[in-house]
Structure 1
Amino acid sequence: MLPVIALIGRPNVGKSTLFNRLTRTRDALVADYPGLTRDRQYGTGKLGDKPYLVVDTGGLVGGEQGLEGLMAEQVWVAVSEADAVLLLLDARDGINLSDEQIAHRLRRSGKPIYVVLNKVDGVDGAPVIADAFALGLGEPFSISAAHGRGVNALMNQVLAALPEIEAAESDVSIEAKGVRIAVVGRPNVGKSTLINRMLGEQRVLAFDQPGTTRDSIYIPFERDGREYTLIDTAGVRRRSRISDAIEKFSVVKTLQAISDAHVAILVLDAHSGEVSEQDATLAGHIVESGTAVVVAINKWDGLDDEQRQWFRDQLDRRLPFLEFAERHFVSALHGSGVGDLFDAVQRAYQASTIKMSTSELTRMLEHAVHEHHPPLVRGRRIKLRYAHQGGQNPPVIVIHGNQTSRLPPSYKRYLSNYFRNVLKLVGTPVRLEFKTGENPYQGRRNQLTPRQQRRRKRMLRHVKK
């Protein structure tokens, strides 16, 4: 296994900034806002001459309770997994009681600890360095994570002390593998609880408070010999209710995760009693992005038959454009029905990556046109000649003909549904692209024969001037 380096410290000391610097990514949200990071975020270190993994953690303040207590548990899990720990301090704020409490617990962990003074630009660091020595964790390193000052020297020292690894193990990384599954939905519908249930461990924070998850967390794992990457995302609310800049960035990360995923699990809250407008909007965005989708109706336990039938009717009425997606009624808290989601994800993924021959698609197109002809346009019939595959995930079918730009949306939907039904595709939208051949006579004037010219002159004599 690759060595793991954990970044811990108080809120807003620059852990996520250093994480992005070490991984050369922008995976971790960064803002001048304390407590932004909550879940463990893993990445592959790319700064230094040795391969390693780096983990970003939430801020510790001491005496945590409730949500902060769950965050603290995640931090100490990361410390227990780490081969080296970087304790980040803020050179501008100096050392306080929280730093001393964190250092005291780290000393008992037995892990190699490196004290890192961040944000040293434009600051007289001598007094803070003297206070950092008092923590009893060795000589501190002065860096600026935002500008890269001192980071290379720090990592050279840290990596030199890590054990050597086999060449085969150096190829291991934390990059997304296998089928990427984004779990999306409104706040507090149970996305993180569902992910923990699918993983079989408390990997991400699950708390009875909207907005617990702020970043998109990529979690690779293996099940039944197949590789997956689960993506926990922040809840998406209506735009009019979003006033916090951090939440806006979280929504952007969620939408990026949907586009990056092979399959999206849309989580709905059955206890809410309705499919909201925001649920429908989010479902529409998934379809527009071309991502395959599975609908998971969570908190299904505890509802009586009348409430369940009411919610089914809501699904049919508010999400008719998701009729191709499988519906699963689950309880993330108790685990009922969660195991079936993996089979549904596999079916949706296989449908979205299907390979289709040109001859097969052309025959289907001929049958579809025979059953329901395209409409007349200016007295002329639109002709659709042949079709071929233009892409995967989602399946793209390219149809060639004449006047295809004048096909009405209703006929395009008919063709899309026809292909999906004949190919027995579940869980994935089908995109159609239409191409019209060029008219070889376009822009060329018809040359009149001598007889036609004489007739034209006779006709013009009778035209009133």
Structure 2
Amino acid sequence: MKPVIAIVGRPNVGKSTLFNRMTKTRDAIVADFSGLTRDRHYGDGRLGNREFIVVDTGGFEPDSTTGIVREMAKQTRQAVAEADAVIFVVDIRAGLSAQDHDIARYLRSIGKRVVLAANKAEGMVESPLLGEFHELGIGDPHPVSSAHGQGIRSLLEAALDPFGPEPDDDEEEADDAGARPIRLAVAGRPNVGKSTLINTWLGEERLVAFDLPGTTRDAITVPFERHGQQFQLIDTAGLRRRGKVFEAIEKFSVVKTLQAIADANVVLLLLDATQGVSEQDAHIAGYILESGRAVVIAVNKWDAVDAYQKELLQRSIEQRLAFLKFAPVLNISAIKRQGLGPVWKAIADAHASANCKMSTPVLTRLIQEAVEHQTPKRSGMFRPKLRYAHQGGMNPPVVIVHGNSLEHVTEVYKRYLETRIRAHFKLSGTPLRIEMRSSRNPFAGKAG
């Protein structure tokens, strides 16, 4: 799984600037989960071929006992608890403060890997001011400038040093998809019935289940077999062993959910029929789509709602999760063990679709037939000309179309092509990405 780095420090030392620099984006995932403060952000980062999750926290005052500051400190502690490494940010220009000492004392007590970042150090790499930060007892300070991007790479290398690169096994999976276990993540907001569903599977199917030691987050995968197919269940609820009660603080761990999604082949998104589709559900669904994972939607507690509520729920799914319209929607009751058989079939179909092999001749013929049926819209003097297509990747499938003036192909026409490709290959439960690549004009830029 991706390692998690938490950024902590007192207010106004540049934590958010460092977060944006590490993620190379300002479009961080905002965790709008119950009990999580709005200034706690999650984002993906990459250093070479090493991927990681970054958690930005609010200003940390470990000893605060009242008001919003106490709540922020509580959420920062949770971020540190689920992190593999912590970057402690201090301000070299403001110097050491009593609050820095309080934070350092707390970080020394948790036994996690902590890297000290002396921020705002542009032009001060050799400054004697760095020396005073040795008082914190956390090791050598790394002089960085979040605003100017200086020293960030060496800081990340120090934080990620114990964690090797993620194995790039997408191609291996594609070649050996049938023999490898299907990694299945069960995702959803708190109290939606994830634990009940998992325990129902473990009991009803008589699955072989045992705990595999995970990372420092104590993430657990549960191997099991059903009808000869091997699965690896990646649990987002902090599953320890069958039947054990889960702590509430683990149930809303955003990090665990993001890691499970990133590490999965297929994600089962569990909704609560009694609660409808919430913002939390939409956040998780959006991350699944961004990650390119195959997905099956299961509506739990279907037996607990009346006909009117069912109709409202179906309409809500169509509206709020419209971007997952390729995903099958199944109605289940985990506690009554109803509707679970079709879920397994949908999971298998989604995995097969995500690893579907599409030959170049077939794709090219599909594109040509689509153009014959409906030509792309003209843009000014140009009408896009689609010549041929081939597969550019799996899990999710990527189709690359070559031709001329393809930059003028509209999103509506891309969706039209996607619909025809999906129908031919019977793709279910997987995103499909279509890339347009225009041929270079050999006469461009030459005088006539």
TM-score, length-scaled by structure 2: 0.54
Matches within 5 A, 1:176-325: 178-200=181-203, 216-234=219-237, 250-272=253-275, 274-325=276-327
**C-alpha displacement of 1:248:** 12
Aligned residues of 1:215 and 1:233 also touching (Cα < 8 A):
no
Deviation sequence 1:416-463 (CA, Å, 0-9, x none): 2221122211111111111111111122222xxxxxxxxxxxxxxxxx
**C-alpha displacement of 1:349:** 0.7
* Cα pair distance change 1:199/1:343, threshold 3 Å: same
Q: Show the counterpart of 2:335.
A: 333
Q: Show the counterpart of 1:381.
A: 383
* Distance (whole Å) between structure 2 residues aligned to residue 434 and residue 32 of structure 1: 46
* Distance (whole Å) between structure 1 residues aligned to residue 377 and residue 291 of structure 2: 29
Aligned residues of 1:216 and 1:254 also touching (Cα < 8 A):
no
User: Which one-letter code corresponds to 1:406 in the other structure?
Assistant: H
* Distance (whole Å) between structure 1 residues aligned to residue 375 and residue 397 of structure 2: 24
**C-alpha displacement of 1:234:** 4.6
Secondary structure of 2:412's match? helix
Query: Unpaired segments of 5 or more residues in structure 2?
Result: 1-51, 56-75, 83-108, 111-136, 138-161, 163-178, 211-216, 239-248
User: Which one-letter code corresponds to 2:388 in the other structure?
Assistant: Y
* Distance (whole Å) between structure 2 residues aligned to residue 417 and residue 217 of structure 1: 38
Deviation sequence 1:34-63 (CA, Å, 0-9, x none): 9969xxxxxxxxxxxxxxxxxxxxxxxxxx
**C-alpha displacement of 1:185:** 1.0
Q: Show the counterpart of 1:131.
A: none
Query: Unpaired segments of 5 or more residues in structure 1?
Result: 1-25, 38-91, 94-121, 123-147, 149-175, 205-213, 236-245, 447-465
**C-alpha displacement of 1:247:** 7.4
Deviation sequence 1:337-396 (CA, Å, 0-9, x none): 123211111011111111111110001001111222111122221101000111111111
* Distance (whole Å) between structure 1 residues aligned to residue 251 and residue 273 of structure 2: 26
Secondary structure of 1:389's match? strand
* Distance (whole Å) between structure 2 residues aligned to residue 35 and residue 437 of structure 1: 50
* Distance (whole Å) between structure 1 residues aligned to residue 407 and residue 220 of structure 2: 42
User: Which one-letter code corresponds to 1:253 in the other structure?
Assistant: K
* Cα pair distance change 1:383/1:306, threshold 3 Å: same
User: Which one-letter code corresponds to 1:294 in the other structure?
Assistant: V
Q: Kindly, what percent of the aligned residue pairs are identical?
A: 49
Secondary structure of 1:379's match? coil
* Distance (whole Å) between structure 1 residues aligned to residue 233 and residue 359 of structure 2: 32
User: Which one-letter code corresponds to 1:384 in the other structure?
Assistant: L
* Cα pair distance change 1:387/1:276, threshold 3 Å: same
Aligned residues of 1:398 and 1:435 also touching (Cα < 8 A):
yes
Deviation sequence 1:87-129 (CA, Å, 0-9, x none): xxxxx99xxxxxxxxxxxxxxxxxxxxxxxxxxxx9xxxxxxx
* Cα pair distance change 1:177/1:357, threshold 3 Å: closer
Aligned residues of 1:354 and 1:392 also touching (Cα < 8 A):
yes
Deviation sequence 1:208-258 (CA, Å, 0-9, x none): xxxxxx8643111111111100111159xxxxxxxxxx8799323322321
Secondary structure of 2:388's match? strand
* Cα pair distance change 1:220/1:382, threshold 3 Å: same
Q: Show the counterpart of 1:413.
A: 415
Aligned residues of 1:266 and 1:283 also touching (Cα < 8 A):
yes
**C-alpha displacement of 1:289:** 1.4
Query: Does 1:367 pair with 2:386?
Result: no
* Distance (whole Å) between structure 2 residues aligned to residue 318 and residue 178 of structure 1: 32
* Distance (whole Å) between structure 2 residues aligned to residue 253 and residue 405 of structure 1: 39
* Cα pair distance change 1:248/1:198, threshold 3 Å: closer
* Distance (whole Å) between structure 1 residues aligned to residue 258 and residue 436 of structure 2: 28
User: Which one-letter code corresponds to 1:386 in the other structure?
Assistant: Y
Matches within 5 A, 1:58-137: none
Higher-Rg member (1/2): 1
Aligned residues of 2:181 and 2:229 also touching (Cα < 8 A):
yes
* Cα pair distance change 1:444/1:234, threshold 3 Å: farther
Q: Show the counterpart of 1:444.
A: 446
Runs of 4+ in 1 over 4 A off after TM superposition: 31-37, 201-204, 246-249
